[in-house]
Amino acid sequence: MGTFIDRASVLSSRADRPEWPKALAAVEVGPARGIVAPSMVMVRFHPEDRDSLAAWQATTGAFVSTPGTLSEFRRRPAETVTGR
């Protein structure tokens, strides 16, 4: 496993992120099972990045996650879930 620090602008394409190939390789040939990034924008903002990331995940079975990925699934009050 490894830690790869990316200094590129948040809206940069993955092609402009020099550490990205290292992260991919850590999953493809190394012990890592997925990638955790500070923001999903950093890994799939541009349409070509979304397409290539989806294809890569389908091929490797790896996960890609960010700290805020599950924020939309926060627990809702019972009346919202049950309709009461």
Instruction: Report the phi/psi class of residue 83: left, alpha or beta, with left for phi > 0 and alpha for psi in -120 to 50.
Output: left
CB 35 within 8 A of CB 62: yes
Per-residue H/E/C for 30-71: CCCCEEECCCCHHHHCCHHHHHHHHHHHHHHCCEEECCCCCH
Q: What is the pLDDT of residue 69?
A: 54
Query: pLDDT tens for residues 22-66?
Result: 999 999 998 899 999 888 888 888 888 889 999 999 999 999 998
At 73 the pLDDT is: 43
Predicted local distance difference test score (pLDDT) of residue 68: 66
Residue 16's pLDDT is 85
Query: Could you tell me which residue, 27 or 10, shows the higher pLDDT?
Result: 27
| pLDDT of 72 higher than 50 | no
Overall average pLDDT of the 61-75 stretch: 69
Is the separation of the CB atoms in 23 and 34 below 8 Å? Answer: no
